[in-house]
Amino acid sequence: MKNILTTSNLNIGYKSKKTVVTIAENLNLNLSSGKLISLIGANGIGKSTLLRTITGIQHPLSGNVYLNDINISTYKPLDLAQNLSLVLTEKLPPSNLSVFELVALGRQPYTNWVGTLTDTDIEKVQEALRLTQIENLAHKKHYEISDGQLQKVLIARALAQDTPLIILDEPTTHLDLLHKVSLFKLLKKLTQETQKCILFSTHDIDLAIQLSDEMIIMTPENVVQDEPCNLISNGSFASLFKDEHIIFDGEKGKFIVT
Amino acid sequence: MANKKRNTILFVVLSLGLLLMFFASISLGSVTIPLKDVFESLTGGHATKSAWEYIIINYRLPKAITAVLVGTGLSISGLLMQTLFRNPLAGPYVLGLSSGASLGVAFVILGAGFLPSFLRVIALSSYGIVIASTFGSTLVLLLVLVVSQRLRDTMAILIVGLMFGSFTTAIVSVLTYFSTAEQLQKFTFWSMGSLGNLSWSTILILTFCVGIGLLLSAKSIKPLNALLLGENYAKSMGLNFKQARLIIIFATSILSGSITAFAGPIAFVGLAVPHIAKLVFQTSNHTILFWSTLFFGSIIMLFCDIVSQMPGFDVTLPINAITSIIGAPVVIWLLVRKRNFR
């Protein structure tokens, strides 16, 4: 098991001209290969800021993010793209892209100046389609398929990018329970079969507890990373929501409304 | 794959279509010239009448070449803008680039009266007009870009383009009060668009400008494909977004600026042609779209040119009117069939 991304004494937040807004301090996170790691926290707690910071889009207030033991701020865009791929929540702009073409765009960090696909590239794309079980969709246009299928296509695109780390921002929003579970299981399978590290943010805490190898919980007080069973036994979930009507039942491993 | 075969056939058809249109554009016109003499003149031989030879070499051939340059340049600049702004309605005319260029030219032609006489000569030379026009279109494009950065709403960008069009019309009508009849006539003729007024030396300048624009566009094919997934995905795939955007903007400015300067503001070609290419080839892959837009642009422009001076007519209709008559319905049809707006 290899450390892929680590943070050391990381402080995240926003800097404007006069004020510094700190969102979380002193983060020492560790993402290692073959692990499915979920990031949870209430709305507005700063999950997106954390993801933006560890993907190098936003600068930390202080501290460092290391990707493969190299400071992420020193990566060139192309090198970063070969080590880290993203699945975002934003809607895709209108286009005529087929599923195959969309997944093949993941090969951009490796292709020549016009983006010609070599045999290796096509192989990687086909492997990504196979791993996500969407080979039958390959020639459909991306606007013809369902939300659940599109999410798989975007994951396949990230797989084709062939990076040791994949980060997904709320991949299960807009999906029904059945598709949520199948997506979580797919992510789990991918970490086991490819030894990649997958980090994703989610609001589906019950499912995340059951399927993640590790969880990162963000609360106003602190940010903790551990295995789900340890987090349950030390009561970390209890402080997640500041509301007397929501209580965490440690035995069942789920939240209950009183 | 079936798609590949289909594309090859389409490109062969398009190449033949282009050759045919090019030849038709040279053969047809108000003066009837026998086909044999057209061939003779083009291949360096002598036509039966030297006047025919003169018409072919110094009037029709430059006009056909201008049509090809204008058609490809405007269409490619429309293709780049549609992807960059993620807006199917983007194009050099709709986004106000042509208006910006018009404003620049209006200032030079109509406002020349305010300049001291030695500057007036420089400003009214073809170089002065090109520079003013390119400057105007670049200015509008930068303005559109600033707006597009502040407002994520793509509709707002179109409205800015429209507003700039009204603004130009207003400024121009103010300027007309202070200009002579001669200046006004010059500007009006320019604004109706014309492919026929270019000498060989100006064609050389235009070829150079369009060539640079097309080279930069070809260099942008891969970034444009990445941008099909949006700015953030493109960045995550290693795209240097700022640099890519700068190249795309420069390419569109030089294409639409230089073309508008020489041929006047030509409407709808830049907007409609990329859509026709997308519709026919059913793809968003810019490697294919680049070439297909190039072909369709020149074929359609040559066609418009033939229509503008139908054989048997003594007059030449303004090219801008023809492209609008053909282009505007295409755009409305596209809007109605919204599913194809991709």
CB contact under 8 A, A115 and B88: no
Task: Give the one of A80, A88, A108 whose C-beta lies nearest to B226's C-beta.
Answer: A108
Quote the minimal CA–CA distance from A106 to chain B in Å: 7
ipTM of the complex: 0.93
| Domain end position, chosen among A162, A193, A214 | A162
Query: Which residues in chain B have Cβ-Cβ distances shorter than 8 Å to A78?
Result: 238
State pLDDT tens for residues A223-234. 999 999 999 888
Chain A residues with CB-CB distance to B278 below 8 A: 96
Cross-chain residue pair A106–B237, CB shorter than 8 Å? yes
For A106, the closest chain B residue by CA position comes to B237
Judge: B228–A111 Cβ closer than 8 Å, yes or no: no
Work out the minimum CA distance from A75 to partner chain B, whole angstroms: 11
User: Considering its fold, how many domains does chain A have in total?
Assistant: 2
Range of the domain at A135: 91-162
Regarding whether A185 and A76 lie in a shared domain, the answer is: yes
Q: Cβ contacts (< 8 Å) between B283 and chain A: which residues?
A: 96, 101
Task: Look at chain B and report how many structural domains it folds into.
Answer: 1
pLDDT per residue as tens digits for the range B58-115:
889 999 999 999 999 999 999 999 998 888 878 887 778 888 888 888 888 887 777 7
Of A85, A96, A101, the CB nearest to B342: A96
Question: Chain B residue with minimal CA distance to A86?
Answer: B236
Query: Which DSSP string corresponds to B246-313?
Result: HHHHHHHHHHHHHHHHHH----SHHHHHHHHHHHHHT---HHHHHHHHHHHHHHHHHHHHHHHT-TT-
- Which residue in A162, A84, A172, A79 sits closest to A124, CA to CA? A162
Whole-number Å distance between alpha carbons of A229 and A213: 10
Same domain, A79 and A113: no
Residue from A95, A125, A139, A153 whose CB has the most chain B CBs within 10 Å, to mutate: A95
B23-45 b/e (C-beta count within 10 Å ≥ 16 → b):
bebbbbbeeebeeebbebbbeee
| Same structural domain, A54 and A110 | no
- Distances in Å between the Cα of B186 and the Cα atoms of B101, B105, B254 are 15, 11, 23
Task: Give the alpha-carbon dihedral of B151, B157, B159, B165, to 10 degrees.
Answer: 140
Q: Tell which of A108, A130, A162 closes a domain.
A: A162
Q: Chain A residue closest to B288 (CA)?
A: A114
Are A202 and A220 part of one and the same domain? yes
Q: What percent of chain A is predicted at pLDDT more than 90? A: 76
Residue with tokens 């360096």: B44
Q: Which two tokens mark A161?
A: 């990018």
Confidence bin at A104 (pLDDT 50/70/90): very high
Average model confidence (pLDDT) across chain B: 85
The torsion angles phi and psi of A120, rounded to 5 degrees, stand at -60, -45
Assign residue B126 the CATH number of its domain.
Answer: 1.10.3470.10
Per-residue pLDDT band at B2 (split at 50, 70, 90): low
pLDDT of residue B1: 53
**Beta-carbon separation of A96 and B283 below 8 A:** yes
The pLDDT, as a whole number, for residue A152 is 95
Quote the domain boundaries for residue B266. Answer: 2-340
Contact (CB<8Å) A108/B221: no
Report the C-alpha gap between A178 and A190 in whole angstroms: 18
Q: Best interface-test mutation with B: which of A67, A80, A114, A139 has the largest number of B CBs within 10 A? A: A114
CATH number of the domain within which A203 lies: 3.40.50.300
Q: What single string gives the DSSP state of each residue in A185-233?
A: HHHHHHHHHH--EEEEE-S-HHHHHHH-SEEEEE-SS-EEEE-HHHHHH
Q: How confident is the model at residue B295 (pLDDT cuts 50, 70, 90)?
A: very high
Q: Shortest CB distance from B284 goes to which of A90, A96, A113?
A: A96
- Answer yes or no: do A30 and A134 share one domain: no
Decide if pLDDT at B340 tops 50.
no
Contact (CB, 8 A) for A160 and B236? no
Identify which of B218, B221, B342 has the shortest CB distance to residue A95. B342
More confident residue, B165 or A141: A141
Instruction: Give how far B239 is from chain A: nearest CA, Å.
Output: 7
The whole-angstrom separation of Cα A80 and Cα A60 is 17
Using beta carbons and an 8 Å cutoff, which residues of B are at the interface with A?
86, 88, 218-219, 221-222, 225-230, 232-233, 235-240, 278, 282-285, 287, 341-342
Q: Which residues of A touch B (CB under 8 A)?
A: 55, 57, 77-82, 84-86, 88, 90, 92-97, 101-102, 105-106, 108-109, 111, 113-115, 143, 161
Instruction: Identify from A87, A91, A96 which residue to disrupt to test chain B contact, counting B C-beta atoms within 10 A and taking the largest count.
Output: A96
CA distance linking residue A51 with residue A33, whole number of Å: 18
A13-69 per-position pLDDT tens digit: 988 888 899 999 999 999 999 999 999 999 989 999 999 999 998 899 999 999 999
One domain for residues A137 and A221: no
- Read off the pLDDT band of A123 (50, 70, 90): very high
pLDDT band of B162, cuts 50, 70, 90: confident
- Show which of A162, A183, A200 is a domain's final residue: A162
